[in-house]
Amino acid sequence: MSDEIKKGLIGVISDETKVSEVMPEINSLTYRGYTVQDLCAKCKFEEVAYLLLHDDLPNSKQLEDFEKEERANRPISENLKSIIKNYPKNAHPMDTTRTSVSHMGLEDPDTADNSKEANMRKSMRLLAKISTAVAANFRVRKGQDIIDPDPKLGFCENFFNMCFGKVPSPEVVKAFDVSMTLYAEHSFNASTFTSRVITSSLSDLHGAVVGGIASLKGPLHGGANEAVAHMLNEVGSPDKAEKFILNRIKNKELIMGFGHRVYRNGDSRVPTMTEYYHKTAEYYQNKELPEISKILEETMLREKNIKPNLDFPAGPTYYLMGFDIDFFTPIFIVSRITGWSAHIMEQFENNKLIRPLSKYTGAPHRKIEK
Ligand SMILES: CC(C)(COP(=O)(O)OP(=O)(O)OC[C@H]1O[C@@H](n2cnc3c(N)ncnc32)[C@H](O)[C@@H]1OP(=O)(O)O)[C@@H](O)C(=O)NCCC(=O)NCCS
């Protein structure tokens, strides 16, 4: 057994997966063999969710049944609504969403059943209910009434309606749908790996998702989309953008929305999201934000040769759509629940307890003297 330490598990292949493949060599990411670019162009998020959960794209009957089940499962309990109404007003929405999902586990009739069929039912309920809980929290915090889900609306349209009481133009809905597809899955990233570790002790799906949410919250992972929006606000205007980045580089500060553990030559999801970021900015007639982004990106490339990751265009896109900045990472959950569920079910199907070793560097062997 080698005693070499792989800090951060860099370069370690810990298991097989059939869910997705990050392919830096061809600058692509595939979900069950389909590139995300193709999925964004030709499918809506519901089809991508089906693909991740069921291994293949749905035919029209399968999609119809899937959408029916998702829509029927959207309502959250009165009990959960009242809990959401009572969350401390300054609690972070990632923490409240984590708590809401944990509560869903208390109410779910299948919580203790780890069979494939029960896990599929639980995954569908979480896919349907998490967006309702996030939207309810979004409104309650502003002192607004909760808007119940509308079963006549598609997944993304319904989310907008529950947050804002209206559905925006099709261009804006499409940009959001594309972000949902791009955020849905990304192999053994920190939150997915966390979910698989929790699953590997034969715990349960809700617990594994709660752990995934806690991991996603961190600014080195999902929390970066919030950090990007704060950074753009701090920069303020295009003429200040270059100096801002140069200062940060000089002070050896991390610049959020840049860099990636796996992609060293650019995140394959960025060009697609940037296209929809620009379309959204054009729709809202905002020229400044993309201009600031462009200068930040060019300066980072010139000075550090580091390219942006998905959070860099996704953060400002959500900002333009009117979402509060601290809801950007919960929106990531609304999508990533599909990838987590697929990985949790895969882990259950071929499980081995995940338990690495560590090299002890603490105090030497000693005795208590008394
Ligand atoms: C994503 C991230 C955690 C990957 O980390 P990693 O694989 O450990 O990469 P490394 O820390 O080895 O990066 C290599 C070098 O690039 C630098 N670097 C990487 N990302 C950077 C960033 N966003 N800003 C400034 N420098 C960065 C590192 O400081 C390091 O420099 P050094 O060799 O002089 O120490 C890292 O790029 C990061 O913190 N990015 C910002 C947060 C973010 O956007 N996260 C979302 C990821 S999708």
Atom index in ligand 1 nearest the CA of residue 312 equals 44
193 domain-assigned = yes
Q: Which residues are catalytic?
A: 260, 311
Contact 269, 263 (CB under 8 A): no
* Residue that is written with structure tokens 């997966």 in the block: 17
Domain count, the chain: 2
Q: Residues near ligand 1 with C-beta < 6 Å?
A: 8, 220, 224, 254-261, 304, 306, 309, 311
Ligand 1 center to 306 CA (angstroms): 8
4 domain-assigned = no
Is 273 found in the same domain as 159? no
**What's the pLDDT at 25?**
77
Q: Is the dihedral angle over the CA atoms 320, 326, 328, 330 positive or is it negative?
A: negative
Best of 258, 264, 265 for a ligand 1 pocket test (most atoms within 8 Å of beta carbon): 258
What is the crossing angle of helices 288-304 and 238-250, to 10°? 30
Asked whether the predicted pLDDT for residue 263 surpasses 90, the reply is: no
Domain region containing 301: 224-321
Closest C-alpha to ligand 1, atom 37: 259
What pTM did the predictor assign?
0.95
The whole-number average pLDDT for the span 146-159 is 98
Is 151 found in the same domain as 179? yes
Closest C-alpha to ligand 1, atom 19: 259
Q: Is the dihedral angle over the CA atoms 325, 50, 100, 80 positive or is it negative?
A: positive
CA 161 to CA 66: how far, in whole Å? 21
Asked whether the predicted pLDDT for residue 1 surpasses 70, the reply is: no
Closest C-alpha to ligand 1, atom 27: 254
Is 52 found in the same domain as 198? yes
Q: Is 355 helix (H, G, I), strand (E, B) or coil?
A: coil
Q: What residue type is assigned to position 339 of the chain?
A: G
| CATH code (residue 298) | 1.10.230.10
Q: Distance between terminal CA atoms of the chain? A: 39
pLDDT tier at 262, thresholds 50, 70, 90: confident
Q: Where are the alpha helices (DSSP H) in the chain?
A: 36-42, 45-54, 60-72, 78-85, 93-107, 116-140, 155-164, 170-183, 190-200, 205-216, 224-235, 238-250, 270-283, 288-304, 311-321, 328-349
Among residues 39, 43, 44, 42, which one has the least CA distance to residue 20?
39
Among residues 37, 49, 12, 50, which one has the least CA distance to residue 310?
37
230 domain-assigned = yes
Closest C-alpha to ligand 1, atom 12: 261
Among residues 172, 170, 200, 195, which one has the least CA distance to residue 185?
195
Ligand 1 center to 260 CA (angstroms): 6
Among residues 183, 160, 139, which one has the least CA distance to residue 337?
183
Backbone angles phi, psi at 31, to 5 degrees: -105, 115
Best of 187, 189, 254, 297 for a ligand 1 pocket test (most atoms within 8 Å of beta carbon): 254
**What's the pLDDT at 87?**
98
State the burial class of residue 175 (Cβ atoms within 10 Å of its Cβ: 0-12, 13-18, 19+): buried
| CATH code (residue 148) | 1.10.580.10
Which tokens in the block code for residue 278? Answer: 């620009």
CA 45 to CA 59: how far, in whole Å? 14
195 domain-assigned = yes
CA 301 to CA 351: how far, in whole Å? 42
361 domain-assigned = no
- Please write the tens of the pLDDT for every residue from 80-120: 999 999 999 999 999 999 999 999 999 999 999 999 999 99
Is 170 found in the same domain as 124? yes
Is 236 found in the same domain as 171? no
CA 188 to CA 137: how far, in whole Å? 29
Number of Cβ within 10 Å of residue 208's Cβ equals 25
Is 108 found in the same domain as 177? yes
What is the crossing angle of helices 328-349 and 224-235, to 10°? 160
- Please write the tens of the pLDDT for every residue from 306-357: 999 999 999 999 999 999 999 999 999 999 999 999 999 999 999 999 999 9
* Residue that is written with structure tokens 């069921």 in the block: 54
Q: What percent of the chain has pLDDT over 90?
A: 94
- Please write the tens of the pLDDT for every residue from 25-64: 778 899 999 999 999 999 999 999 999 999 999 999 999 9
Edge-to-edge strand ranges of the sheet holding 28-31: 20-23, 28-31, 34-35
Is 308 found in the same domain as 278? yes
What is the crossing angle of helices 60-72 and 116-140, to 10°? 50
328 domain-assigned = no
